[in-house]
Structure 1
């Protein structure tokens, strides 16, 4: 049978209340007492009952993290970073994915599962600006991503326009003028694709290079297969280009494969840059030049803001914060500056 508080208290030679105080990390416990209780917990393999703890203290020690899809490396690595940051605050992370489905994203906000957590870090991809009212929840929440701005909760996001402009400017500085884009979303007004395409257009305009719509390819999902299909379509159309900007690394990896199959040398014939700086990018051949959008900083600030709101008693903040993290151009082999 599972060990109980009573078992731990008996082995440690303390009261059940003392064991509870140690489990809940209360202050003003003598170090020797804390050591004995922890030793008893370890020996017995005691696991706290989160539901019971929540009823007693109002806290579960668990936060939620809702992401579109963990099959995309960016979101998997973001989850890893959030879990590490949460652990530094003695918090466990309950991860759920929505498949970027708007109805599932809305449903999760009122799910009974949220009652098992002390707060939520939420990254929607199906919802849009008109769905901001769904964020008016009665528990602490931090929003991620580029689907909703100016909402009723704290928001941590990346500098999509500026970062995409920097990526395009880097290609221009390397001597490229015909820069293809992989991964635009047709008719999108607000979102990662639209913001990154805006940054691309701004960089071209700043350099006096005309915007050529034939260089922009459209897709839906940002997966490797979509990047490969877009690259093949561009090559088959006979559209001349000397550089490729993939709006995320997964798309870019698919495009890179097709370029090599077509006998195009990277970066000699075509310079290639991605966006996300996923771990895989440094191991491709050639290694991928990409934008690091500040994933670690996003995780850090999101957890810090959520912990602050939890400590303040939860509820919607009177003055929600919007945090824009820093980015960096990570130069590797697929695109380099001349000289």
Structure 2
């Protein structure tokens, strides 16, 4: 096995200088660092992570907690799959590997913290957990740096989409298109995961500013963010409020179900009812009519959360919560009634 001493012999530099070049530390010149790195590559040098961890007391592992009970999409979800790809790239570029954590270990029930300690992870990225319970709070209150995505966990810095602003944009867009009777189909929410509630808050704000009527009868709540429940919600909403001309749906998956119901009863879209979704799923640009929706910035969310986690690892202060803007993608599912 090639060691740093082999590289030192090849280049004429000392072992500490070689170590600095390989670890990206120290005040070396670009010329010196490049020469050492090229020699290391030519000799086939591969770092011994086990020995490195013994020296630095670091494992260079980042734990990932990812659950998806409400969406039921796993890595196929258009937001979380893309975020995970970005996080993996960012972590690898920083010299870290990812390992997924659960509440079991070696076929036995274990807490998240116990799993983290067993794997000796340096930090944890929390993505859409099942719930914020004692188990998760035990981890959040530990000395292991954590960052949360899509969830507001007490004491844990988080990165989330600017959902209130997106809901407001949806309402303004529909109102500018001449819609006055607007409904909303909501996904589930908790005090820690408020996306569906915040999107409704933004929609209400736009409707109130326009002086239009909006009450509870314009809303249907779904226990999960699924296509089947979107179908049922649209059925209930249409039966009690057939006068609605537009519906904002909290995600595309439920919007597909809503559109499926309207198609089943021969309601023409967008001529009779316009639909706006959220997530910009790939299918949204291929269904009929193509779906107007919101695109969440997966790249920015992944990069920001990774940067925050790396900063926490070295003790640099970070914001409690960073909100990332979503982009409205206009397609054919909204009719312009203002003309």
Give TM-score, length-normalised by structure 2: 0.77
What corresponds to 1:73 in structure 2?
78
Please state if 1:291 is matched with 2:294.
Answer: yes
Q: Which of residues 142, 154, 157 in structure 2 aligns to 1:137?
A: 142
Unaligned runs of 5+ in 1: 99-103
Q: Which of residues 282, 304, 316 in structure 2 aligns to 1:301?
A: 304
Which digits, 9 at most, give the CA deviation of each residue in 1:276-332, with x for residues without a partner? 23444333333221123433222121111111222338xxx5x75322222322212
C-alpha contact 2:22 2:37 (8 A) present in aligned 1: no
What corresponds to 1:107 in structure 2?
111
The 1-side partners of 2:81 and 2:264 are apart by 29
Please state if 1:230 is matched with 2:233.
Answer: yes
C-alpha contact 1:19 1:37 (8 A) present in aligned 2: no
What corresponds to 1:205 in structure 2?
208
Please state if 1:268 is matched with 2:282.
Answer: no
What corresponds to 2:131 in structure 1?
127
Q: CA deviation at 1:138?
A: 0.7
C-alpha contact 1:6 1:16 (8 A) present in aligned 2: no
User: Which one is further off, 215-224 or 304-313?
Assistant: 304-313
The 2-side partners of 1:195 and 1:201 are apart by 10
- Change beyond 3 A, Cα 1:132–1:75: same
Aligned length: 318
What corresponds to 2:325 in structure 1?
326
C-alpha contact 1:177 1:209 (8 A) present in aligned 2: yes
The 1-side partners of 2:307 and 2:333 are apart by 36
Across the aligned residues of Structure 1 and Structure 2, the Cα RMSD in angstroms comes to 3.5
Please state if 1:166 is matched with 2:137.
Answer: no
Give TM-score, length-normalised by structure 1: 0.77
Unaligned runs of 5+ in 2: 69-73, 104-108
The 1-side partners of 2:22 and 2:119 are apart by 21
Which digits, 9 at most, give the CA deviation of each residue in 1:176-221, with x for residues without a partner? 22222222448x5552222222222222222222223232112122
